[in-house]
Structures are given as C-alpha cells and as structure tokens.
Chain A
C-alpha cells in the first residue's frame, strides 16, 4: 500500500483459521515480544478489497527482504530456533503451524522475526507436525552441513528453493565416530529411508498415527529434541580468507581516521533512508552510516566475516544494520517458480547511497569484472556513491596481481577509473588517503 504497509487478505478458509487462533496467549505473546510481525486485523473494505476476501491484515514494511541463502550460519540457526520456539509455544495452545520455511522469517537488523501470520491454524487432534520435513530440508540439514562438514549451505539453498532433500543429505553426511553427528541417525538416515520406503505408499499414515495416540505431547517431544540438536550444532570452520584479515591492516592510522571522516561527511550530507555497505567486513563503516541513516544493509562476500559481524550486532541488539552474505559477482536471483519467486538482491531495495570501500579491486582483478561494468552497476543501483579506488601501486593490488598474466590488468589505474567514473557520476569530493595509494570519491549520478 502507499502508506508503507503490507496488506494480506484471507479467503473464508484462511479467515476461519485466523479467527480461531488469533486471541490465544501464545500468539498475543509473540506479537508483544516482536517475534511475530506486528499484525492488525482490518475489514477488507477498509483497505479497498472486496470478495472473495473475508478478512485482511496489515503489517509494517520490512526494511529489506533477505533470503536464507544470504544469511550466515548463526542467522539461520537463530531463525531455526525462533521457528521451533513459536511452533512449541503455539502447540501448547492447540495451534499448528502449516509449514516451517525460513522464508517466513526476516531479520530486522540482527533480530529475527516471523512474518507469516497466516501460517497459524487450529490444530486438529492427531495432526502431525506438517512442517517437519520442510524444517529438516531448509533449516536442519543446512546447519548440519556447515556445522558438521564445514561446507557453506548458502549455495545449496540458493540452488534449490526447497532446500536439501533427506536422500541428498544422507549421501552427503557420513557417520563419524570421532565427531558424533547428533541427529544424523533419526533425522537424516531414517528420514531418507522412510521417504524412500513410503514414496509410493497409499497408507493413511496420519489416520494411523492418530489412532495410535499421536498427540501434542509427542510433537512437543520432537520439537524439544530438535531444539537441543540445533542448539548444539556449532560453526566448525571459523577461518576464511578474510575472517582473520582486515584490509585496514594496510592503512596507517591517519588514513583510517580520514577515511572515516570522509564517509561520515558524505553520508551525513543528506537524509538517508537506506545505505548499502558493499564489502562491509567488520562493519565499522556500516556503523558510521547507521548514525546518519535509517537503515544499513551491510554485505560481504565472506560468510564467516558476516557471521562475526552478525553476532556482534546481535549482542548489541542492533536493529539498524542488516548483515548479509552477498557476493556481487555471483549474487543469484530469479529463483523458484518461473524464476520470479525470489528476486535478486538488486531488485529488493533502492539505496539512497552505496559505499564500496576496498571492494572494486577484488572484483576487477580476482573476478575480472571490468571497472566500466562495475560503475555501470553502481550507476543503475544508486543515486550516490562513496567509492575507494586503490592505485596500481597499492600493496593489496600488487598482491592480487602477483599470479596474474602480465598486462591483462594494465587498465586498472586511477586515471582510467576517474575517466570512467566521470562518464557516469559527478564527483562531489575526493581525497587521497595518507597512505598515498588510495583515493576515495563521493559522487552523484548524472541524470
């Protein structure tokens, strides 16, 4: 809606679900705590809706929609814990959740929030937990993959909107005597075997389970045990290329101070609703931007670096900086039904200003994205840009060029960069950092 709200409408069946559960204490507690998104029931006619809509609900806008494959291990783990907590608490009130997908969770800064208020329904006695398989495929297995194997889950979730199947997970996750993998036997091996065994079964398992005494206590026990498993899965491999390294190590102290001042002045020069910090590393410039804007999306191509930032922000209860794992050279998009279900990162937000500090040389030299193409991307993305250009003699540039074929990056020069920048942007200010090997620009897009 134009007033900054999201409207969700329900047909008669959905309205009946909502009517039965909405006043329950567990739902009201989740709303009060912010674990469930603020939701206001309204008459459909009040928001311009007619039949077949029977009930409508309004929600505030999420500042930036992110997807599980852009989250880090700790983010997915926190989202999983929120999912299990809400499922258990509502179960005690006779409420069932229709599904268990992390796409129903969004992060407000570092705080996870459940956004699918329409997922709740009155649980019928004997009902199983309908979201169990989805929970395994989209939460548990990705966490196991990273925690037990040290393999990042993001590319798997990005590659399949439905996550990792039990059969695939069984093949990927062997038993280990030295490092027992809690939950593997039941939730992976047995799950895959049961899936295969009953693939073409016409058994009415739901009815059989109900007759055998399936009840909320059994489900609660399953949920409680899953909470224990998720809690114990920890990030195994905690080192990456950049996690033990800050490019700022190359700066002399005065360079860092003046760069911070430059960024502060540029961001504070106008009101900002949303700032993107591309290549955020430990978030020091995201924090500067946050002091002068409503919301900062902090992106980095190293998930472990982002995970560390997330945990720091979480400890501070920071709801203004959203840390995301995004590799701009391979950011994904067009996932799901008709390639439109999960749009790419560039289609989900419009920053007022973008910061690209200590980034473009990595994209240019390591990933061979020409400077012109990078600047085209920035021109399409943002009306204002703060960008740092390391010169050809910068220590990091020399390091990146070490094993490259001679001559292929001869155009990576300050002069060429300025020429390309001036074609697309008007430079408002620029500064040569004290190190003498980097220049930072504040530029405004040419109309």
Chain B
C-alpha cells in the first residue's frame, strides 16, 4: 500500500539481509552507525566509479 511512496528503501535493506551472514555484517554496521550517530568511514572502494548509468 505504500509502494508508490517508496522506490525501494526497505527492499534494499532486506536484500542485504537476504544474503545471510554476509549481509548481516553490512546490516549491523548500518544499524550501529544509526544508533551511535557516528558516520561510517568511506571505503576507498566506494569512492570511484561514479558513472551515470541509468536505472529503469
């Protein structure tokens, strides 16, 4: 019923959890950052490759 409001934030989160242990690690870091308010360090690997691909 809310789907038209949200392009998939919740889905994105669950898709991470769906990966089991691998996903839980990522999920936990996200939650920890939210709870503690400390920003997560930006990983080198995330800084590159910001091209302009489109998404349907």
Chain A residues proximal to chain B, CB less than 8 Å: 13-14, 16-17, 96, 98-99, 119, 121-122, 124-126, 128-130, 132-133, 136, 162, 165-167, 186-187, 190-191, 193-201, 203, 205-206, 208-215, 217-222, 225-226
Q: Which residues of A contact B25 (CB under 8 A)?
A: 213
A222–B16 Cα distance when bound, in Å, is 7
Q: Which residues of A lie under 8 Å from residue B12 when comparing CB positions? A: 128, 132, 205-206, 209
Indicate if the CB atoms of A190 and B14 lie closer than 8 Å. yes
Given contacts A193-B10, A208-B33, 13 further A-B contacts (CB under 8 A): A13-B52, A14-B54, A124-B51, A125-B45, A130-B8, A132-B12, A133-B8, A165-B1, A195-B6, A211-B29, A218-B19, A221-B23, A222-B15
Query: Chain B nearest CB: distance from A365 CB in Å?
Result: 42
- Asked if A125 contacts B16 (CB within 8 A), the reply is no
- Cα distance A250–B43 when bound, in Å? 72
In the complex, what residues of B have CB within 8 A of residue A125's CB?
45-46, 48-49
Chain B contact residues, CB within 8 Å of chain A? 1-3, 5-6, 8-23, 25-27, 29-30, 33, 39-43, 45-46, 48-56
Q: Are A215 and B17 in contact (CB under 8 A)?
A: no
B11 contact from A99, A195, A210, A221, Cβ within 8 A: A195
Name the prevailing secondary structure of the A interface residues.
helix
CA A278 to CA B17, docked complex, whole Å = 45
Q: With the chains together, A59 CA to B50 CA distance in Å? A: 31
**Which of A17, A194, A203, A210 has the most C-beta atoms of chain B within 10 angstroms of its own C-beta?**
A194
Which of A166, A198, A212, A217 contacts B30 (CB under 8 A)?
A212
In the assembled complex, the CB of A119 is this many whole angstroms from the nearest CB of chain B, namely 8
Q: Please indicate the chain A residues that have their CB under 8 angstroms from the CB of B13 in the complex.
A: 194, 198, 205, 209
Q: How far is the CB of B42 from chain A (nearest CB, A)?
A: 6
The reply to whether B40 and A211 contact each other, CB–CB distance below 8 Å, is yes
A14-B54, A125-B45 as given contacts; A209 in contact with B16, CB under 8 Å: yes
Q: How far is the CB of B21 from chain A (nearest CB, A)?
A: 8
Asked if A133 meets B29 with Cβ closer than 8 Å, knowing A199-B5, A211-B41, the reply is no
